Amino acid sequence: MLYDALLLLAVLFLAGFLTVGFRLDNASPLERAISQSYYLFVIAAYFVWFWLRGGQTLAMKTWHLRLVNADGSPLTLRPALLRFVIALPGTLLGFGILWALLDRDKQFLHDRLAGTKIILTPGH
C-alpha cells in the first residue's frame, strides 16, 4: 500500500499540475467539489486501469501480486470498479484491511464483496 501511495502521490501531483491554471485562491464550494471529484476520478483511473491491464499496479508487480476474479480469471471492469468503490472507505477507515485478519482466506473485505482476490504470481 505504501508503494502505491507514493506512486499515486506522483500521479496526483501531475494531475494537479495540469489543472493549476484553473484554480482560484477563493474557490467556491462548487469549484472545490469539482476539484475533489477530479482527484477521485484520477485515483480511480490509476487503480482500475492497472487492474484491467494485467491485474497489477506497479507496486503489486514489485511484490509479485495480481488481482483476479474470485474464480482466477482476469479482472473485468465491473468487479474492478466495485472493488475500488468498496475499498475506498474500507481502506481509509481501516475496517477493510482489518477484515483480512479474520477472513478464512485472508482476503480483504473489498475483495470478498467485489468477488476478487489477490494471488501471488510465479517468481515469488
What string of pLDDT tens digits covers the 124 residues of the chain? 888 999 999 999 999 887 776 665 667 888 888 888 999 999 999 999 999 999 999 999 999 999 999 999 999 999 999 999 999 999 889 898 899 999 999 999 999 999 999 999 987 5
Phi, psi of 72, rounded to the nearest 5 degrees:
90, -5
Domain with 7, as residue range(s), is: 2-20+27-120
Question: How big is the CA angle at 15 (ends 10 and 19), to the nearest 5 degrees?
Answer: 145
Cell output for 47: 487503480
Per-residue pLDDT at 22: 65
Q: How many domains does the chain have?
A: 1
The answer to whether 36 touches 81, Cβ cutoff 8 Å, is no
**pTM across the whole model:** 0.86
Per-residue pLDDT at 111: 96
